[in-house]
Amino acid sequence: MASSRDEEETEMKKEEVAAGIIVVYECEKGREYLLLKNRKGQWGFSKGHVETGEDMKQAALREVGEETGLTAQDLVFIPSFERRVTYSFSSRAIQGGSADKEVFYFLARVLRRAITLSPEHEEYGWYSCEEALHLISFRNMRALVKDAETFLREMK
């Protein structure tokens, strides 16, 4: 039986929903993944909160636009690739101290490599699968790269 404290903690734990895009570029030397480095020094993909009235893909497009300058005209979505990643994180800014986050990722090829980096990121780069796996801090994000790479190889 749950105590009243357990119930209070469950009620106070915040849940967040976000959406993002794994952006890939096909070039002569192979496939490259767009990674963004945040102010904490962590490499990952463009993602952000879903705003009221947006579906997941709309939110992902808005976020990639805000963070990289890429638009819907620059991207070709890969059909049938949508993945969900869930994790918990702690923050002093959150009442109760922690939150569960669910992020929906899409996969898209980019038609141009030029990026306009947002102030929320320090750096960006185009990296091979192997390089991306080395740079990305979190295991669930590395698994996402492996999944995307396998999916794209099997498409050919």
For residues 94-123, give the mean pLDDT: 87
Question: Over the stretch 5-28, which tens digit does the pLDDT of each residue have?
Answer: 444 444 455 678 899 999 999 988
pLDDT at position 4 is 42
Identify which has the larger pLDDT, 121 or 100: 121
pLDDT at position 1 is 47
Q: 111 to each of 1, 45, 75, 114, 153, how far by Cα in Å?
A: 55, 17, 6, 9, 19
Question: Domain map of the chain by residue range?
Answer: 4-155
Q: What would be the CATH architecture of the domain defined by 4-155?
A: Alpha-Beta Complex (3.90)
pLDDT at position 100 is 79
pLDDT at position 137 is 86
In this prediction, residue 95 has a pLDDT band, given cuts at 50, 70 and 90, of: low
Question: Over the stretch 60-89, which tens digit does the pLDDT of each residue have?
Answer: 999 999 999 999 999 999 999 999 988 776
Identify which has the larger pLDDT, 12 or 100: 100
